[in-house]
Structure 1
Amino acid sequence: MTTPTRKEWLEARRKGLGGSDASVALGLSQWKTNVELWEEKTGRREDEDISDKECVKYGVACEPLMREMFKLDYPEFRVKHEENVVLQHPVYPQLQASLDGMLWDQAGRLGILEIKTTTVQRGADYDKWKNKVPQNYFIQLLHYMLVTGAQFAILKARIKNEWGGSVSITENHYHFERSNHIGDTIHLLKAELAFWRYVETDTRPDLILPKIKEPSHGN
């Protein structure tokens, strides 16, 4: 099997909703509205190329290193990663997932590894990570578990703190069990399918969409 190129991967992503699209489709992203996402998926707008941004390049460079560190720190998990692969929901192929890693625990359960890097420069940034993960990342994890059928997800976050003039770096791990978020997962599925119907019927959606509650760390 030939590994897809990045161009092929990007083209495949445009044909469905990926993890980073999930919170946008629900109207819960601070960077993009659900209407703008609809315009991208219907060809009315080009999605922004952020590959040259320093924070993105930093995250891309960190990802393989952080994945290897996860393997060393948590040898009880089997970790698998395939570059530029787009997975699809078995019933709803418009729901897609590009994973930083697939996990199997000692009981053989399937899980998701998601890797994030972020820089904290003010109190509001810090509050987003205080005993929880930012809402858009939580929704992304729900989306990935929904697409793959995974029973759990682990978010490995590298947090670079530049607040107050000094620099410190911490790595946190957040574990989520799908069984603790059944209601949220059902809600997300309905909302994403509803959004995609707007795409299929070429109908502009309302700007405000339903909300998903923000989780506490470790649930």
Structure 2
Amino acid sequence: MVNTRAERLRTPRSTVRPVLQVVELQGTQESTGDRGLGLHEAGLGNLEAAAALGQDPFKSQVRLWMEKTGRRDLLHPVRLDNDSSAYWSRLLEPIVAAHYTMRTGRKVRCVNTTRRHPEYPWMCATVVREVVASSEVQLLECLSVGMQMAPLWALGVPEYIRLRVLHQLAVTGEQAADVVVLLGGQDLQVYRIERHEFEIARLIRQERAFWRHVERDQAPPASEGDG
């Protein structure tokens, strides 16, 4: 019997709590700058959390749903040029991480792993860097933002970045992550995002609602700007 795509995506219920899965990355990169999504079609990664909730200023729920349900050929491709913000952000990550260590005194290691939530296997998260031997903070997100995008950081971490980090904390079970961002090539800022169980529960509930649309192969309601 041939199952539909929706049936194949549907996660079976289980009374046994799955063991946390760690999958080594092998240089997988998304054309939009999203990294670590070799399991892209099989679940929601941290870089997709905001889009799943309709909070990503660069990707709509409908576009994400089309990607997850194998409709990429109907989308306009997103090109990654050598002078794009995503390219330079990746190139500068090691430098940003090094300056984080200089400023805070905390050691950092590059791990490049993808993990899955022990209870919700459709949730996965890429962990690029960890903070070594710290009881206060365990994960590190390094970003480089150009002058055009810097205003989004005027009041601190933008909501779409905060949702990405909360997704990471939900999947990994860690307590806190530092977000270090280089603004306009000269202003380095460090922000702490701590685990909040109520917010994480709400995040999982909203992401699960989106994932049901993927399982059922039914598009989520279109919002303004999805056209």
The TM-score, its normalising length taken from structure 2, stands at 0.75
Of 152, 170, 173, the match for 1:128: 152
Paired with 1:49 and 1:10, the residues of 2 have a C-alpha distance of 16
Q: SS at 2:111's partner residue?
A: coil
Q: SS at 1:14's partner residue?
A: helix
- The alpha-carbon deviation at position 53 of structure 1 amounts to 5.0
Q: RMSD between aligned alpha carbons?
A: 2.5
Q: SS at 1:70's partner residue?
A: helix
One-letter identity of the residue aligned with 1:82 = V
Paired with 2:70 and 2:159, the residues of 1 have a C-alpha distance of 27
Of 186, 192, 210, the match for 1:175: 192
Question: Is the Cα contact below 8 Å between 1:118 and 1:159 reproduced in 2?
Answer: yes
Q: SS at 2:210's partner residue?
A: helix
Q: SS at 1:100's partner residue?
A: strand
- Is residue 93 of structure 2 the alignment partner of residue 66 of structure 1? no
One-letter identity of the residue aligned with 1:205 = P
Q: Which residue of 1 aligns with 2:128?
A: 100
Question: Is the Cα contact below 8 Å between 1:27 and 1:207 reproduced in 2?
Answer: no
Q: Which residue of 1 aligns with 2:143?
A: 116
Paired with 1:20 and 1:4, the residues of 2 have a C-alpha distance of 15
- Is residue 30 of structure 2 the alignment partner of residue 5 of structure 1? no
- Percent identical pairs in the alignment equals 28
The TM-score, its normalising length taken from structure 1, stands at 0.77
One-letter identity of the residue aligned with 1:65 = I
Paired with 1:113 and 1:29, the residues of 2 have a C-alpha distance of 21
One-letter identity of the residue aligned with 2:167 = H
Change in CA separation of 1:10 and 1:127 when aligned onto 2, cut-off 3 Å: closer
Report the count of equivalent residues. 193
- The alpha-carbon deviation at position 149 of structure 1 amounts to 0.7
- The alpha-carbon deviation at position 174 of structure 1 amounts to 0.4
Change in CA separation of 1:204 and 1:131 when aligned onto 2, cut-off 3 Å: closer
Encode CA deviations 1:134-159: one digit per residue, 9 max, x unaligned: 11101111111111011011100000
Change in CA separation of 1:199 and 1:90 when aligned onto 2, cut-off 3 Å: same
- Is residue 44 of structure 2 the alignment partner of residue 20 of structure 1? no
Question: Is the Cα contact below 8 Å between 2:25 and 2:114 reproduced in 1?
Answer: no
Paired with 2:154 and 2:103, the residues of 1 have a C-alpha distance of 23
Question: Is the Cα contact below 8 Å between 1:13 and 1:96 reproduced in 2?
Answer: no
- The alpha-carbon deviation at position 105 of structure 1 amounts to 5.0
Structure 1 unmatched ranges of 5 or more: 161-167, 209-219
Paired with 1:146 and 1:207, the residues of 2 have a C-alpha distance of 27
Structure 2 unmatched ranges of 5 or more: 1-22, 30-35
